[in-house]
A and B are shown apart, each in its own frame.
Chain A
């Protein structure tokens, strides 16, 4: 049941491809446009991808797309035309490089060899563990699945160097640890992990002390309630893996202790998820306070805060520039405004002479003024 994706760059090769795979148990998906590759990968679990007939540029584009779209787990083979130079491919992250023409039997041998080499099965220890992504199996799924088996197990969840452990005895969840948090507090934090890698080791626990003391059903109920509450509170906040930052341009006189802690953490850019995991306060409390702080513009998206700061710095730079320019002019004015002036002839400072030009009025204006004054006097 091997699924292969072929990025076909020249339809003339299609018939040959069909011949090579005829009678074999591979399922082939042929994609001719690079923009369709991501959708195809989202809908199928490919064991291998092939660029056919490869050119260096198209292969690089394909590899880059797979990498950026998080499909880097799909091994890629480049199948080059006969006249293509191979050397430029040597530095690419390919699992194999084949040059056409290729005999069907040899082609299938190479393909089998590659598929065998990348198989995860060959590294899985039978009966020992089960691991994967929280996006497929979240904490609630995992608790239920371990419970169904009624086994002793240690579940480890990791993301970005943060690690948590949950322990089961005969399927019953007995303890959980996330940094300094324990029990339900740790689980309530864990339930909100939107992504991460889990590993379940089915192993007999040396100590099986029940530190939580509640049935799995009750724990699940508490966690479900907590999750719903957290999801409600989370609305309006940045995505968990968006970076946020303290806005240095805004200050308030009074902050709650938790706001202080949030403010401290956000002095450097960090994701909301990191913030939730760094603080030992409940996620609900952190979310509430964070919301308030974001409304007050004390905290914002990293990109926005950095822009504000840049704008501010530019603004203050311009102001400084203008003030420096104006100060230059002001210096000139100040010299004119000096009360004393230096009389080079006599070699001494003298008070300025007041020079008032005599008033020059037209006779008719003078008459008007006189008349106005007489009216006012009456």
Chain B
């Protein structure tokens, strides 16, 4: 065993793995070293931290074994642990001290009162084995690559074409995702914050990172996903276009801009929880792609919040002034939508009110925000009532009122009843405790106001069918009130729910004709 004070590069040029041992006891170092040497490793022992640090600057060992007696406060953590896999060993050490070493970046702490040398040598061997042999075995056995080489869309398209059963694990720094494909179709997907469709859509936005793929054998799979893989691939294209449009309008077309918060605009933004979360992400990641990736929200929702923050002047691309309000990049009502909305209004009426009723968790505010946001209208909240004025024609205004059923909402409805053109109930399916109360209230309101009604089921989870079934079991509303599942913050869903008002109206007309 060498007890080198100093190493030359030439001395370590062969292919043997190199271990540095920082140990004051030459007897212990000798015993550890003997075992490692027997395993074919090259050993260098240092009895002072200064020598050790000096030599790691010349040659990085494959592993560093360190007696804590040698550890100088701060030096090892700063100089050694980040660049060399380090093991600290001792015959005695309390739990707090061990955890402290782990938090500093030590890979393994070995505490063994008996036969310390053997234990340390074996643990070092295992660490070397997993970093070399095991990693190599995984490289050879698993299909792996980078997203830059082959995009995930290509992988999915190929799997779909060839009807493959695959498990994909995707990783980008600390972010990861898992997709499971059965006969080419995605059957489930997970990221840290999202699952299924939303998780796939986010994963498919990834422009960097790596993945491993493995085929699997199974006769059948259950999928909680309602969207087909083809639909998801189509939606991905749409989302990419949407993202592009956002970047064009908010960031002068820069692909992956960095954002920064603008203190002057923060005051108003911080009252909203979604804004707050996104601002924290901006502070932490800055980079647009990373912000989207680590956002707990789906891509479109994240973009909407970013857009809102841009509009409020709370964020701006790094080095730029907050952008002045610009043309919306988002979806908006088409001419036929406007025509339809106009038809809900009584003849010659210029003002119409639409009530959106629901429990606080029903997505009431999100739905109003989705509709208003797409029309470049701002949402105001006064005494827990959200309202937005949406000009749908030059001289016609639709006002959305979001009212919580936990408040005294009947007086509010009474106030707007003259202009009330429809009423939407949002029912939070994840909160069955409120069903009976909502059923009662809704029945009452339907009896009082002669306007079209529609029900939107929110927070349905993955099983929409089950949510619909639960609704039918618990709600006995008078008349044939249409009901559809909705994602409250999705403009297309909000629009679909509005169209249910029309259906109800039509049906009433048809009924009256029949009478």
Contacts and interface: CB of A to CB of B under 8 A. Distances in A.
B131 A117 contact: yes
Contacts of B445: none
B135 interface: yes
B215 A135 contact: yes
Q: How large is the interface on B (under 10, 10 to 19, 20 to 34, 35 or more residues)?
A: 35 or more
Interface in A127-185: 127-133, 135-137, 141, 144-145, 148-149
Contacts of A148: 154, 157
Nearest to B35: A90
Interface stretch (A69-77, A227-235, A274-282): A69-77
B140 to A, nearest CB: 7
Interface string A101-126: 00101100110011001111111111
A120 B138 contact: yes
Contact of A121 (B121, B123, B171): B171
Nearest to A200: B149
A353 to B, nearest CB: 88
Interface in B51-98: 85, 95, 98
B144 A132 contact: yes
A155 to B, nearest CB: 12
A1 B178 contact: yes
B169 A141 contact: no
A96 B218 contact: no
Interface in B124-140: 125-127, 129-131, 134-135, 137-140
A143 B232 CA distance: 24
A42 B125 CA distance: 29
Contacts of A93: 129
Contacts of B140: 73, 197
Nearest to B208: A126
B495 interface: no
B144 A130 contact: yes
Contact of A126 (B99, B123, B148, B213): B148
A123 B139 contact: yes
Interface in A351-376: none
A72 B191 CA distance: 27
Contact of B210 (A121, A135, A137): A121
A43 B218 contact: yes
Interface stretch (B160-168, B258-266, B321-329, B374-382): B160-168
Given A1-B176, A127-B146, A132 B213 contact: yes
Contacts of A131: 139, 143-145
Interface in B151-205: 151, 154-155, 157-158, 161-162, 164, 166-167, 169, 171, 176-178, 190-192
B217 interface: yes
Contact of A136 (B135, B191, B213): B213
A132 B143 contact: yes
A72 to B, nearest CB: 5
A70 B135 contact: no
Nearest to B179: A1
B167 A45 contact: yes
B130 A45 contact: no
B122 interface: yes
A283 to B, nearest CB: 22
A124 B119 CA distance: 32
Contacts of A86: 119, 122
A261 B390 CA distance: 84
A293 interface: no
B212 interface: yes
Contacts of A109: 99, 102
B109, B115, B169, B190 — most chain A CB neighbours (10 Å): B169
B144 A120 contact: yes
A65 interface: no
A135 B143 CA distance: 10
A187 B146 CA distance: 26
A120 B126 contact: no
B145 A132 contact: yes
A170 to B, nearest CB: 16
B95 A128 contact: no
Interface string B206-226: 001010111111100000000
Given A105-B99, A120-B212, A130-B146, A95 B126 contact: yes
A196 to B, nearest CB: 11
Contact of B135 (A72, A118, A133): A118
Nearest to A122: B135
Contacts of B167: 44-45
Nearest to A115: B130
Contacts of B169: 1, 45, 47
B135 A117 contact: yes
A87 B192 contact: no
B502 interface: no
Nearest to A1: B178
Contacts of A31: none
B237 interface: no
B293 to A, nearest CB: 14
Contact of A118 (B138, B162, B192): B138
Contact of A43 (B135, B208, B217): B217
A128 B177 contact: no
Contacts of A122: 135
Contacts of A70: 141
A97 B143 contact: no
Given A45-B169, A105-B99, A121-B210, A73 B141 contact: yes
A22 interface: no
B108 A120 contact: no
A25 B138 CA distance: 22
B142 interface: yes
Contacts of B166: 136
Given A127-B148, A132-B213, A106 B123 contact: no
A106 B98 contact: yes
A94 interface: yes
A216 to B, nearest CB: 14
A37 interface: no
Given A126-B208, A130-B149, A106 B218 contact: no
Contacts of A47: 169
Contacts of A270: none
B139 A44 contact: no
B276 interface: no
A63 to B, nearest CB: 12
Contact of A75 (B134, B210, B217): B134
Contacts of B216: 42-45
B107 interface: yes
Interface string A1-45: 101000000000000000000000100000000000000001111
A128 B137 contact: no
Interface string A61-90: 000000000101101000000000011011
Given A105-B99, A123-B139, A129 B145 contact: yes
B203 to A, nearest CB: 11
B164 A136 contact: yes
Contact of B130 (A103, A114, A130, A133): A114
B140, B143, B149, B155 — most chain A CB neighbours (10 Å): B149
B129 A95 contact: yes
A80 to B, nearest CB: 12
Contacts of A132: 142-145, 213
19 contacts: A1-B169, A72-B137, A73-B134, A75-B130, A94-B126, A95-B134, A109-B99, A114-B130, A120-B142, A122-B135, A124-B210, A127-B148, A129-B149, A130-B150, A131-B145, A137-B158, A145-B154, A149-B151, A149-B154
Interface of A: 1, 3, 25, 42-45, 47, 70, 72-73, 75, 86-87, 89-90, 93-97, 103, 105-106, 109-110, 113-114, 117-133, 135-137, 141, 144-145, 148-149, 197, 200, 202
Given A42-B217, A117-B107, 6 more contacts: A43-B217, A94-B129, A103-B98, A130-B149, A133-B141, A144-B158
The 8 A-B residue pairs whose C-beta atoms are closest, nearest first, are A132-B143, A130-B145, A95-B130, A1-B178, A127-B148, A73-B141, A90-B122, A109-B102
